[in-house]
Structure 1
Amino acid sequence: MQVLFKIVRQSQNTGPRIQTYQLDVEPGNTILDCLNRIKWEQDGTLAFRKNCRNTICGSCSMRINGRSALACKENIGAEIARLNQISEQSTETESVSRDREKTENSALNALPGAPPRATAPGAIPEITIAPMGNMPVVKDLVVDMQRFWNNLEAVDPYVSNSARKIPEREFLQTPEERSRLEESGNCILCGACYSECNAVEVNPNFVGPHALAKAYRMVEDDRDDQTESRLQNYNQANSGVWSCTRCFYCNSVCPMGVEPLDKIGKIKDEILERSDDQASRSIRHRKVLIDLVKKGGWVDERKFAVMVVGNFFRDIKGLLSLGPVGFQSIKRGKMPLTFEASEGTKEVRSLIEAVQELESKSSKAPKK
């Protein structure tokens, strides 16, 4: 089958441009196979990273049709099928919207047809390949990952056993202890999660999901003796776990199933367990949110900002900062004067209490 590869090319001194290459490929060929053929047969100047070709090293991570993935893992047939599925879902959504428009406006006797499929019958499929995001481009699909590695180093991703002082023997673990480290230990540092991270895009100080997934491994590892100092480091407002926007992109693109977002959430749980609502605004935000939902089934907007930003009327500067927003909300009728608890408040409260009880038992249980 014929496939068009639209590759975003650039160097440090030029802007991006798209160059198109056409190949005769098999559905089972990987994207990396095709890039190799383009380089060997058509254009030796094309630059990209590769190494193992077996989903182990993480070198060939790049954006394939808008999402970060490993070129050695994605194949042509699966990628074209994915594009067609996305196109079909978009068509269905647009069709529903058009039906609604037709019902509301009977004057519209005819509506334009659905958008073409990603691969229209008879058309040559197209696959767009671009460099990873959130990192400067060196050349073509090669990016500068220095900040990626610096952020990883910032979480000190190494097991510390200095307190034990037993260098003559290894520190053995049971299968159960080792199993708790499997997901985070599977990270191959390909950079896909970092490339798609919305928080990194707007906050250059955020260490990124890859670093915090590795950080959780250190927190969970019973051989490490620096848990408390680690949690203080990961609790930093601008660089640590509270900068995560929970967009879920890191989980969706991870080729190894590490689920960085879940690991960030577990670090947050460890921090919250050790802190009260006066520790920081980020911690207060989480605790106040849970308390208000527990009391009323949903958030009482009249109290939330005052309790979090104003710190229960303790933070005068914080209260003053709420003035402009509060005034505009009242002026536009967006500030509720009363609060009505939700009908399911008792059920919500019982669920929260049940989860809190389970978490309490889990935290008190000794690690084997």
Structure 2
Amino acid sequence: MQVIFKVIRQKENSPAQAQTYQLEVEPGNTILDCLNRIKWEQDGSLAFRKNCRNTICGSCAMRINGRSALACKENVGSEVQRLQNIEGDAITPEIMLAPLGNMPVIKDLVVDMDSFWKHLEAVEPYISSSARKIPEREFLQTPQERSRLDQTGNCIMCGACYSECNAREINSDFVGPHALAKAYRMVTDSRDTQTETRLEKYNIGTQGVWGCTRCFYCNSVCPMDVAPLDQISKIKQEILANKEVPDSIPIRHRKGLIELVKQGGWINEPKFVLQVVGDYFRDLEGLLRITPLGFKMLIRGKFPLHFEPSTGTEEVRSLIESVQQKRGEG
């Protein structure tokens, strides 16, 4: 069948433009197969990364029709079918190929992954140094302990999750879902001796887990089912359960939200601000920072002074407590 490939081409610090190539392909051909043919038969100047062609190395990640994926894993037939489900039948199907997001373009489909690797290094994705000292005997793990590392160990560092991360797009300090998925591997590794230090680090500001916007894109595009968002949530649970981790606005936000909904069925905004931002008058700097906005809301009638609990509060409280008991949170 005939397929049109629209490739976003770009040189460093130059505007992007789409270039069109047409190929006769089989439904089972991968996108990488087609890119190879374009380069070998039509345009030798086209730049893209590749290596293993077996969905192991992660080199050929790019945006295929708007979503980050591995070119060696996606095939033409399934991609055309997906487009037809969205747009209906077309005379000649078109497949758009673009470089990964959240990273500057070097050329065409090749991006500079320097920030990707630096953010990974920031979470110290290796067993703590004290645990690496030569022991009297080797570090042994039970099958159960080892099984906790399987899912995060599947990560091939392709950059798909980093490319789609909304939090990374607006916050350059956020380390990204790939780094935090690897971070959870360290937190749950029975051989690591720096768990509390790690949790304190991942709890800081919006650099770590609290910078995640929970958009779910990282899970949806991961080609290896690492589910980075799930791993980020697990780190949050570890932080909340660990009494040694210093208190912070994100921690108070999460705990305060749940407690206030348990009390009244929905959020008592004045009490929520006082509890989360002001830490019940213990964080005067936080209160001063939010005071101007509070006055504006009060003047415009958007800051309720009276709180009316919702109907069904008892049922809501019962549901929350059931979930907490099941998770062992009390």
Q: Same fold (TM over 0.5)?
A: yes
CA displacement at 1:179 relative to structure 2: 1.5
Deviations 1:141-197 (A, max 9, x none): 000001101111111111236358554643232222222111111111000000010
Q: What stretches of structure 2 of length at least 5 have no aligned partner?
A: none
Q: Paired residue for 1:172? A: 140
Q: Paired residue for 1:328? A: 296
2:57 aligned counterpart, secondary structure:
coil
Equivalent runs, 1:238-277 vs 2, <5 Å: 238-275=206-243
Runs of 4+ in 1 over 6 A off after TM superposition: none
* C-alpha contact 1:277 1:283 (8 A) present in aligned 2: no
* C-alpha contact 1:276 1:283 (8 A) present in aligned 2: no
Q: Paired residue for 2:19? A: 19
Q: Paired residue for 2:86? A: 86
1:277–1:283 distance in 2 versus 1, CA, 3 Å: farther
Q: Distance in 1 between matches of 2:98 and 2:144?
A: 41
Q: Paired residue for 2:69? A: 69
Q: Is 29-38 or 305-314 further displaced after alignment?
A: 305-314
Q: Distance in 2 between matches of 1:74 and 1:285?
A: 41
* Aligned partner letter, 1:193: C
* C-alpha contact 1:275 1:283 (8 A) present in aligned 2: no
1:336–1:159 distance in 2 versus 1, CA, 3 Å: same
Q: Distance in 2 between matches of 1:74 and 1:83?
A: 13
Greater Rg, structure 1 or structure 2? Answer: 1
Equivalent runs, 1:1-368 vs 2, <5 Å: 1-87=1-87, 117=88, 119-120=89-90, 123-160=91-128, 162-163=130-131, 165-167=133-135, 169-275=137-243, 279-360=247-328
Q: Distance in 1 between matches of 2:243 and 2:268?
A: 23
* Aligned partner letter, 1:130: A
1:162 aligned counterpart, secondary structure:
helix
* C-alpha contact 1:161 1:223 (8 A) present in aligned 2: no
CA displacement at 1:233 relative to structure 2: 1.3
The count of aligned residue pairs is 330
Q: Distance in 2 between matches of 1:270 and 1:227?
A: 10
Q: Distance in 1 between matches of 2:15 and 2:132?
A: 54
Q: Distance in 2 between matches of 1:24 and 1:6?
A: 14
| Percent identity for Structure 1 against Structure 2 | 69
Q: TM-score, normalised by structure 1?
A: 0.85
1:275–1:237 distance in 2 versus 1, CA, 3 Å: farther
Q: Distance in 2 between matches of 1:231 and 1:343?
A: 38
1:137–1:310 distance in 2 versus 1, CA, 3 Å: same
Deviations 1:322-357 (A, max 9, x none): 333223333433333322222222222222222323
2:172 aligned counterpart, secondary structure:
coil
2:95 aligned counterpart, secondary structure:
strand
1:29–1:360 distance in 2 versus 1, CA, 3 Å: same
1:314–1:336 distance in 2 versus 1, CA, 3 Å: same
Q: TM-score, normalised by structure 2?
A: 0.94
